[in-house]
């Protein structure tokens, strides 16, 4: 558990009452990771929602490398050389891993620390149980998540257009 007062500092949690902050704090733990740590990979089942306290996290996808000739056998086996494309950068005060709150909790991108990071990890299964008991709280949080998703879709569109222009 972390202190609810820690959460109060972040705009993402604005509008939540003290009881909501306490509920979030009870299912949270602080993690410290090094650069290049992967929080999750595309296709993983995700069990945490994350808040960046310090550092930066990239939301990335892997695409087949453009400057490499891929053999037919590699295409069938999926053993292709790949490049990572950063779809979105997440910094202090921002959340990532929202897929953990949307059944099924399978992620469509990877989350990678681009610097040493300190994050708060919220147990998504416990959060969903809390939201089932308190629909108003769940509604507020899903609204906040929808705003995050909207921003990530905007970022992904911009990055996709930039990648196509290369």
Q: What is the CATH number of the domain that holds 65?
A: 2.60.120.10
Whole domain around residue 104: which residue ranges? 4-160
Residue 119: inside a domain, yes or no? yes
pTM of the model: 0.85
Residue 23: inside a domain, yes or no? yes
- Give phi and psi for 100, each to the nearest 5: -65, -20
- How many structural domains does the chain have? 1
Residue 70: inside a domain, yes or no? yes
Residue 136: inside a domain, yes or no? yes
pLDDT in tens, 65-76: 667 665 655 555
Query: Rounded distance, CA 150 to CA 124, Å?
Result: 20
Residue 74: inside a domain, yes or no? yes
Token readout for 13 is 């949690």
Residue 166: inside a domain, yes or no? no
- Give phi and psi for 121, each to the nearest 5: -105, 125
- Across residues 88-105, what is the average pLDDT? 92
Query: Rounded distance, CA 47 to CA 124, Å?
Result: 5
Q: Contact, 111 vs 40, CB < 8 A? A: yes
């Amino acid at each position: 558990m972390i202190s609810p007062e820690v959460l109060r500092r972040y705009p993402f949690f604005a509008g939540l009452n003290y009881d909501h902050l306490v509920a979030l704090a009870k299912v949270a733990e602080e993690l410290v990771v090094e650069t290049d740590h992967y929080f999750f990979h595309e296709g993983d089942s995700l069990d945490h929602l994350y808040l960046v306290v310090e550092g930066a996290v990239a939301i990335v996808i892997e695409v087949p490398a453009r400057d490499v000739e891929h053999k037919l056998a590699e295409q069938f086996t999926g053993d292709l050389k790949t490049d990572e494309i950063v779809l979105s950068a997440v910094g202090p005060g921002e959340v990532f891993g929202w897929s953990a709150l949307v059944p099924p909790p399978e992620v469509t991108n990877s989350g990678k620390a681009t610097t040493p990071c300190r994050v708060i990890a919220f147990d998504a299964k416990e959060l969903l149980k809390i939201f089932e008991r308190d629909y108003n709280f769940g509604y507020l949080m899903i609204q906040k998540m929808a705003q995050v998703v909207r921003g990530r879709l905007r970022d992904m569109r911009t990055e996709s257009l930039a990648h196509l222009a290369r």
